[in-house]
Structure 1
Amino acid sequence: MSYREATYRAGDGLALYFRDYAAAHDALTPVLCLPGLTRNSKDFEGIAAHLAKTRRVIAPDLRGRGRSAYDPNYKNYAIPVEIADVFALMAAERLERVIIIGTSRGGLIASGMAVMRPAAVAGIVLNDIGPELAPEGIARILGYAGRIAEPESWEDAVRLVKSLNAPMFALDEAGWMRFARSTFRDERGRPRLDYDTRIGDAIREAAAAGEAGGADPWAVFKAMAPTPTLVVRGENSDLLSPGILARMHEARPDLKSVEVKARGHAPFLDEEEAIDAIDAFLGGIDRA
């Protein structure tokens, strides 16, 4: 599906990229798709094309990712800065109220936004993320972020993506190639990392300091209780455990959730279970 490519300026002047999927009729609440730590707007191609049949969908590349500018100060790769960036995007595009689909770190950004400006967030889909992160998943992410050697070919890229994700994902060869293509960018036929490797330094420093976006994540999760929330969990996720999800339901009895089979961290959101759950969730917000 076609989309408009554009940039806007963050508060500090950094040029940030986004994709804008325009719907034929945009009377419904638009959707804002926020990617994971080292990911970008490419991750939402499937769900964006589906949702854009009936509503506008915007998917940005956060600073230092994809086609957005890299920050000369890596310490700005922090959730409070990224929250400000997304609010700047909403202002630039005159978006008063949105539904946010946030994958991993994107979900943490969405949660912070809902607490800071609840009137601006009509609902949130948390894709494989919660207010608590399983230690094994954190260890895996801290181990690879910014430390992956760039593959020599796309075949090598597939092998690398498999080595990091094969135990959690059941994919055919075409699926693994799509995964690789969404992970790396193509530069004259060769795969290249599609993010600033200093993001890895930023999150490792934050983890060592015991930081979590500047606020207690469980307090944030409880504070966003007025915001309708759907959790999508990968069956094999090593970051959002069944126990953490159960505690989320205890804290928020109105919370909705769905599990996607044969997926780890994080589901692609083009799976039938995910699409059906998201459609139903968005429909409920539209009718409210």
Structure 2
Amino acid sequence: MLNYFLYELRKRRGATIGWGIGLALYVLYVIMLYPSIGAQYAQIDLDSALFQAFIGSDLASMATFAGFYAIYVPSYLPLLLAVYAILNGSGTLAGEEEEGTLELFLTLPLARWQMVLAKALALSLALLVILLVTALGTYLTFVAYQSELNSDVSAMDLVINVLYGWPLVMVFAMMSMFLSAYLPRRRMAAMFMSLFLIVSFLGNNLAAIAEPLQKVQPIFPFYYFNGSEVLASGVDMGDLLVLLGTSLFFYGLAQFSFQRRDVTVGAWPWQRARNRAATQAAGR
């Protein structure tokens, strides 16, 4: 299993480095931008419904570095990384099945649960490494520009803020793995998860100004992720446990679904029992 896990890591190496550097450059741009335009944001109407739909409604002022940073980094960084988590997670099982490689891997002396575990661990570690690279870039950039930012926020506050995105993107990664094992095609899993990502992000932000949405807000993963609040008062352990628990739940569903999957058949779940029965009858 170790060799298979290392193979899964090597397969993600290029994307991991690329995403880590790309997100670090994004944070670099945000921090460099603040000294020149931060004061102009004091005149923005933060009560605008359209504005709140895209960035939330929990910031007192974008004129401060903490407020400016909270708008552009914790609001959008996990959203961007969740795209990678969905693309990667949806391709772990159904994607490999469509490519014809999954059947080959099943000939290895590994149980199916070991394959799913290795893939989940590799994806989890890849997401963590991306955020570690981003956090390192954030730390170095903040230290370099700290004198121009005039902020009480420390470099370690920003590092923790970046790393706190990991539990959130893990939810989308494990949900994608589950749907990849449950649905017959990777495209279906990726499409459903992309839609859920958009609805979760916008729905959670709009819930602050649209009362009907508040009733369903707890089903959105972004409800348990408040980057600006983490920056101000630290991590909420309750929200952290909800995100981690949800990730484990969908990992368990991925294990269960893959155990029952007929590889190379590409059938819907409700068709699989009938297909197995037909196969057994033909073999008699």
Fold shared, TM-score > 0.5 on shorter chain: no
- Greater fraction of residues in helix: 2
Q: Which has the larger radius of gyration?
A: 2
TM bin, normalised by shorter chain, reads: under 0.3
**Structure with a larger share of its residues in strand:** 1
